[in-house]
Structure 1
Amino acid sequence: MIRLLATDVDGTLIHSDHVTISARTREAFLAASEAGIVVTAVSGRQPYSIAALVRGTALEGPAIGSNGSVAMHLSTGELFFEEILDVDAQRTLVEAMRARFPGVRAVSVRDGGNTYLAEHGYSGPQDPGAQSAAWEVVHRFADLDEVLAAGSVKLVLKHDDVEPRALLAAARELAVPGCHPTISGAPFLEVAREGVTKASGLASVCTHLGIDASEVMVFGDNVNDVEMLRWAGVGVAMGNATPEALAAADRVTLTNDADGVAQVIEGLLGDAAHGTPRA
C-alpha cells in the first residue's frame, strides 16, 4: 500500500517550460490526497520557488528543497530542518575546483534557501526558479571570502565553458570530505553536506510521519533523483529521464510533457479502488 507520493519538480512534475503543472496532474494529486495519501514535492529548487509553482494544488503542504537540505511547510513557512554544508568543506572544494577549472564561480544558498550570495563574476541566474518566488528572497553579489564565510544549504559552482557533468566528475574524483556533489539539469554543479540527498530528506519526513520506505512512491528524472529512486518502495523514472535515473528506477512512465506522473497516480488509485493497490 502506498501512503506517500513524492515528486521531483523540473523534468517531472512540471512541463518543459519549467512553469506548467497540467490540469490532469493537479487533479491526480488532489485525488491522491483525498484518498488519504500524503503528497509532497522534493526538489533541487528552494521552498520559495516550489511554493510559487504548486500554489493552489494539493502539494502546498510540507516540501523538501535544495536536494534534501531543507524541509518546510509551504503554506505556513514552518521550517522543519535544514542541513548545512560546513565552511571548511565548501572552501576546500571550491579551492580544488578552481585549481582544475580557473573561472569557476560560487554561490552560497543560505537561510532555509531564502538568501543567495553569489561571487562577483558569476553569470546567469543564481537560481533558475528565481523568477517565481512565493515570498521575498535576497539575491546579492559579494567577494568569494564572504560567499564562503558561512555554511550553505546548497553550494552552487558554475563555469561558463565547462559542462555540469564535467564539474560533477571532477568533484567526485576530488571526494572532498563533508561534500556531496550532484547535478539536476540546471547549468551548474550543486553541493550539499555529505550524506544529504533527496532520499535522506524524504526519509526524515517519513520517519516523522511513521511511514516506511516501502510505502513510498517517488518520481524523478535526473542525477539528483537517483538516491531517492533507489530508496523508495517504488521508484518511477520519467520517459525523459537521464540514464542514471532510468537505471535506478523500478518503473518508467511517460515524459513530463505527456503527464507521466498523472498517468501513474491514476493507475495507482484505480487499482486501489478495485482492491488491488499497486506496489
Structure 2
Amino acid sequence: SVIASDIGGTLGGRQSVLSARTAKAVGQVLGAGVPFILVSGFNLKVVTRIREQIRTRNESGLWSIVQNGSLILKGNNIVERNYLDLEVAKEVVRFFCDKGLNPIAFASPEMDCRQFTQPVGRDTSFAEAYGCEIVPDIASQLLSDPIQISVYDDNDLIFGMRAEAECLFGGGRCNVIVSVGAEKSWLEITNARSNKLTALTTILRQIGARPEDVMYFGDNLNDVELLKSVGYPVVMNNGLPEVKKLARRIAADCDADGVAEVLEEYLALVSG
C-alpha cells in the first residue's frame, strides 16, 4: 500500500505546518516500510520545510510532488522537472495584466525559486508577505522557463475568468488549476504535465504500485482527479462540499489532527 496526502488544509492544517502528532505518524508509516507521498501545490521551499519536519530513516520512501507536479522529488533529490515554456509564461503574464490582476511568477530552482509579482492596480500586500519581489516587468526577470504563473485574488474575479483561461491555455496546452479559499482563490497556469494525478502515476510506476493501492487525503478542487482515481479516498471535514462527496471516509478537521488519526488507525491494522 501507499499513503499520499495534500498539505495545505490537509496534512499541514490551515497554517501548513505539521503538528507533532502528524509528523510522528508520517514517520511511523515510513518506518513500517510504506511509501509516503507529499502532494502539494506549494512551492519547493514550503514542501522542503514540511519534509524536514518528518523524522525517518526511510528517506527513499518519502516522495514529494511540488507545485502540482512541476517538480517530483525522491527524498531530497529532484527526479523530474516539468516547467512552463518561457514564451507561454509571458503570454500568461499579459493575460492576467490585461484583466487588471497582479501576476505572480514562480521561478525554477535553477533561479533559486525566486517569486515575482507585477503590480497592475491590485493590492500587493499578500504577494509581499508571500515572499514575492515587486518588479515593473516580470517578463524581463524570467531568464529561463518558470514553474508557473499564477494570480491570487477575490473569488468572483478568479471564477469570472476561469473559463477564458481554460479556453486559452487548457486543452493540453497547459494545466489550468484552481485552488479555492473562503474569500480568495488561486488560479495557476503550469506545464500540461504538471498535475497531481500525472505526477502520482509517475511515482507509482517507479515503486511498482497501482492507484487502487493508494490512500489519499485531500480537501480542494485540485485533489478531485486523485480522489477519483485512488483506492481509498479520504477528505477532510473542512474540505469543500463537492469534494467530500468523493470520499470513502471523512477525516476530522485539518487542525484537529484528522490525517494523524486515520494514519494511527492504519498503523494499528498493519502492525496487528
Q: Shorter-chain-normalised TM-score: which range?
A: 0.7 to 0.9
Instruction: Measure how far apart 1:35 and its partner are.
Output: 1.8
1:87 and 1:53 map into 2 onto residues whose CA distance is 29
Contact 2:106 2:146 in 1 (8 A): yes
| Secondary structure, aligned partner of 1:218 | strand
Structure 1 residue 79 and structure 2 residue 78: aligned?
Answer: yes
User: After superposition, what is the alpha-carbon deviation per residue over 1:100-121, rounded to whole angstroms, capped at 9, x for unaligned?
Assistant: x224424243237842342432
For residues 80 and 181 of structure 1, do their structure 2 counterparts lie closer, same or farther at Cα, with a shift above 3 Å needed? same
1:62 and 1:245 map into 2 onto residues whose CA distance is 24
Q: Corresponding residue for 2:70?
A: 69
Structure 1 residue 270 and structure 2 residue 268: aligned?
Answer: yes
Instruction: Measure how far apart 1:240 and its partner are.
Output: 0.4
Instruction: Measure how far apart 1:125 and its partner are.
Output: 4.6
Contact 2:237 2:251 in 1 (8 A): yes
- Matching of residues 166-185 of structure 1 within 5 Å: 166-177=160-171, 178-184=173-179, 185=181
2:230 and 2:90 map into 1 onto residues whose CA distance is 33
Aligned pair partner of 2:114 in 113, 116, 124: 116
Contact 2:227 2:247 in 1 (8 A): yes
| Secondary structure, aligned partner of 1:183 | strand
Aligned pair partner of 2:235 in 234, 237, 244: 237
User: After superposition, what is the alpha-carbon deviation per residue over 1:126-167, rounded to whole angstroms, capped at 9, x for unaligned?
Assistant: 49775xxxxxxx957351332566422222124579644444
2:235 and 2:82 map into 1 onto residues whose CA distance is 26
| Secondary structure, aligned partner of 2:262 | helix
- Matching of residues 37-52 of structure 1 within 5 Å: 37-52=34-49
Q: Corresponding residue for 2:50?
A: 53
User: After superposition, what is the alpha-carbon deviation per residue over 1:189-221, rounded to whole angstroms, capped at 9, x for unaligned?
Assistant: 212112421111111111111111111111111
Structure 1 residue 151 and structure 2 residue 145: aligned?
Answer: yes
1:44 and 1:180 map into 2 onto residues whose CA distance is 12
Contact 1:236 1:252 in 2 (8 A): yes
Instruction: Measure how far apart 1:181 and its partner are.
Output: 1.4
| Secondary structure, aligned partner of 1:63 | strand
Contact 2:102 2:118 in 1 (8 A): no
Ranges in structure 2 where 5+ consecutive residues have no aligned partner: none
User: After superposition, what is the alpha-carbon deviation per residue over 1:66-116, rounded to whole angstroms, capped at 9, x for unaligned?
Assistant: 111101245x4x2111112223433444434444x2244242432378423
Q: Corresponding residue for 2:32?
A: 35
| Secondary structure, aligned partner of 1:248 | coil
For residues 213 and 129 of structure 1, do their structure 2 counterparts lie closer, same or farther at Cα, with a shift above 3 Å needed? farther
For residues 84 and 32 of structure 1, do their structure 2 counterparts lie closer, same or farther at Cα, with a shift above 3 Å needed? same
| Pairs aligned (count) | 261
Contact 1:120 1:143 in 2 (8 A): yes
User: After superposition, what is the alpha-carbon deviation per residue over 1:222-251, rounded to whole angstroms, capped at 9, x for unaligned?
Assistant: 111112212222121111011342233332
Contact 1:49 1:129 in 2 (8 A): no
Contact 2:151 2:187 in 1 (8 A): yes
Contact 1:107 1:147 in 2 (8 A): no
Q: Corresponding residue for 1:210?
A: 208
% identity of equivalent residues: 25
Q: Corresponding residue for 2:189?
A: 191
Instruction: Measure how far apart 1:57 and its partner are.
Output: 1.3
Contact 1:66 1:113 in 2 (8 A): no
Structure 1 residue 4 and structure 2 residue 14: aligned?
Answer: no
**Could you state the TM-score of these two structures normalised by the residue count of structure 2?**
0.81
**Could you state the TM-score of these two structures normalised by the residue count of structure 1?**
0.80
Aligned pair partner of 1:219 in 217, 220, 228: 217
Task: Indicate the structure with greater helix content.
Answer: 2
